[in-house]
Structure 1
C-alpha cells in the first residue's frame, strides 16, 4: 500500500508540506518541553498549550496533505498551492508562538495595533489554507487517486471533515469578534458552549481514518470488509461532529449533554473503539497465521 511507501515524501508537490510539517510538529514537541520546565496553566488565553497543540496539529495536517497530493494526478498549479499552504501554516503557527513568547494572547487579541495586525494576518493565512484544502477535497472526489478503494473513502471523508473543521474555525473567529464588540467572552457560545469543540473534534479524521483503512488492509480483510469498516468509521466520526456541534449550540459544556444527545456520543465512540478492536485483532490473527505458515 502506498501509505507505507515513503517515495511519496520525495514527490515535488509533497516535499514542502512534508518538510515544513515536520518542522511544525517538532516545534510543538519542543514547546511541550518548555511547558514541562516552565509550567503554568494548560487552559487560558496565554498558555503553552497553544504552541504545543497548534504545532503538532498543523504539522500532522501538513504532512497528511502532502501524502494526499502524492496520490493525485499532476496539475499545473500543484506546486504553487502546496508551497503556499505549507508556508501559510508555518507562518500562522509562528505568529501564535511569537505571541506566547511575548506573553500576550494570540487569538481575539486587539489590545494594541500590533496584536490586532497579527491576529488579522493569522486570519488571512488560515483563509488561504482553507481554500487550498477545499480545492484538494474537491479534487479527491473528481480525480482518481492512486489508492485502493477503502483508502480513497478514508481520504475523501478525512478531507471533508477537515474542510468543515476549517470552516467552523472561521465562524469561531467571526463569532468571537462579534462577542468582543458586545463585551462578552469571545471563546464561548451561549452560557457554557465551547466553539473550539466542534472545530477540533474531527479535524484529524484525515489521520485516523487512513490509519483504520491501512490497518484493515494489513489485516488482509476482504476489500468488501475493508470498505464497510471505513464507511462505519467515517460515519461514526460524523456522529462525533454532530454531537459536538449540537452540545455547543445548546450553550452547554463539552460533556454536559442531555441524555438523548449523550447517546449520539456513546454510539460514535463505541463504534470507533469497536472497529479499532476488530482491526487490531485482525492484524494479530494475520501475523500469527503468517508465523505458523511453514516456509
Structure 2
C-alpha cells in the first residue's frame, strides 16, 4: 500500500510555483472538508437539509479532489499559458465558491436558493455567477488536452473523459439549480432536497460525473506504471472510460426518469452492471501488472513514459 501511495504521489506531485498553488488550494479545501466533518460529528444535527455541515464537507472534498486532479493533468500538459489560465480560473472560482458556501453554514443559513435577505440573495447570486467561468475553464482545459497532450495515451483518454464528465455534471447541476429556484419561488422556502421527478437522485448523478476524473486518473496512473505497452494501456483505458461512461449514463438516465437509484429499468441495470464490470476489470488488471509486485528497482517503479529518463539518471526531477 505504501508503494502504491508513493506511485500516486509521484504522479500528482506539483512541479513549479503554479502547480503548487493549485495543489495547495486543493489541499486547503480537503482539510476544510475534513475539519468540518469533525465539527459535524461534535455539533450533531441532521446531515441532510439545506442548512447542514454536509455542505462544507461535501463541497470541500469534491473541489479539493478536483484541484488535485488538475495538477495531475498539468504535470503532463504543455507548460503554456493556454493551459495554466483555464486551470487557474477553475481553481480561483472553485475556492471562492466553497468559501461562500462554508461561510453561509457558519452563519446558520442556506447557501443555495436562498433569497431571504439581500445579503443571502447576493451570496447566492455570486455562487451562481462563479459557476459560469468555472465551467468555461473546464471546457477550455478539455479543448487544450485534446489539442496537445504529451502524456501517455491512457492518461490522455482519462483526462478527456474525466473533464467531459465534469462538464456533464455541471449541466446536471444547472438543472438542479433551476428546480431549486422554482421551488423557492413557489413556496418561499429553500427545498430540503432536489429530485428529478418523483424520486430521481440528482445529487447522485451530479456526484458520479464530478468524481469520475479521480477514478480514471488512478487507473491511468496504474496502467502507465505497469508492464503494458503504451498502446495496450491505451486500449485498457479506453475500455475503462467506456465503462465509466456507461455507469454515469445509467445513473443519470435513471435520475432524469424520476426513478430512485435502486429502481432502474432493466436496460439501465444491464448498462450499469456492464460498465462497472469493465472499470473493475481494468482496475484489477492495472493492479496485477504493477511493477512493484514483481521487482523493486527504480526503473520498474517509474511510470512507463519516464523509464527512459530513469535509465539516464534524470528521474522525476528531470520532468
Does TM, normalized by the shorter one, top 0.5?
yes
Identify the match of residue 235 of structure 1 among 217, 236, 242.
242
Conserved? CA contact 2:243–2:274, under 8 Å: yes
Conserved? CA contact 1:13–1:69, under 8 Å: no
- Residue 100 of structure 2 corresponds to which residue in structure 1? 95
Q: Structure 1 CA distance, aligned partners of 2:253 and 2:84?
A: 39
Identify the match of residue 149 of structure 1 among 153, 157, 172.
153
Q: Structure 1 CA distance, aligned partners of 2:124 and 2:78?
A: 36
Alignment coverage as a number of residue pairs = 288
Instruction: After TM superposition, give the deviation of residue 96 of structure 1 in Å.
Output: 0.9
Identify the match of residue 197 of structure 2 among 190, 193, 201.
190
Task: Note the 1:253-264 alignment, pairs <5 A.
Answer: 253-264=260-271
The 4+ residue runs of structure 1 with deviation greater than 6 A are: none
Q: Structure 2 CA distance, aligned partners of 1:80 and 1:88?
A: 12
Conserved? CA contact 1:244–1:254, under 8 Å: yes
Instruction: After TM superposition, give the deviation of residue 20 of structure 1 in Å.
Output: 1.0
Q: Structure 2 CA distance, aligned partners of 1:194 and 1:108?
A: 18
Is 2:64 aligned against 1:59? Answer: yes
Conserved? CA contact 2:82–2:144, under 8 Å: no
Instruction: After TM superposition, give the deviation of residue 66 of structure 1 in Å.
Output: 2.9
- Residue 304 of structure 2 corresponds to which residue in structure 1? none
Identify the match of residue 160 of structure 1 among 134, 145, 164.
164
Q: Secondary structure at the match of 2:18?
A: coil
Q: 1:81 to 1:224 in 2, by over 3 A?
A: closer
Q: 1:258 to 1:139 in 2, by over 3 A?
A: same
Identify the match of residue 173 of structure 2 among 169, 173, 192.
169
RMSD after superposition: 2.4
Q: Which runs of 5+ in 2 are unaligned?
A: 1-6, 298-319
Q: Structure 2 CA distance, aligned partners of 1:63 and 1:150?
A: 18
Q: 1:223 to 1:84 in 2, by over 3 A?
A: closer
Provide the TM-score with structure 1 as the length reference.
0.88
Q: Structure 2 CA distance, aligned partners of 1:221 and 1:83?
A: 34
Instruction: After TM superposition, give the deviation of residue 132 of structure 1 in Å.
Output: 0.6
Q: Structure 2 CA distance, aligned partners of 1:244 and 1:7?
A: 29
Q: 1:291 to 1:89 in 2, by over 3 A?
A: closer
Conserved? CA contact 1:107–1:119, under 8 Å: yes
Q: Structure 1 CA distance, aligned partners of 2:115 and 2:20?
A: 36
Instruction: After TM superposition, give the deviation of residue 80 of structure 1 in Å.
Output: 4.7
Task: Note the 1:80-91 alignment, pairs <5 A.
Answer: 80-91=85-96
Q: Secondary structure at the match of 1:155?
A: helix
Is 2:232 aligned against 1:225? Answer: yes
Identify the match of residue 216 of structure 1 among 219, 223, 231.
223
Q: Give CA-to-partner distance per residue, 1:100-153, whole Å, 9 cap, x none.
A: 11222111222222111111101111211111111000111112x231111111
Q: Structure 1 CA distance, aligned partners of 2:84 and 2:154?
A: 27
Q: Give CA-to-partner distance per residue, 1:20-53, whole Å, 9 cap, x none.
A: 1111111011111112222222222122111111
- Residue 73 of structure 2 corresponds to which residue in structure 1? 68
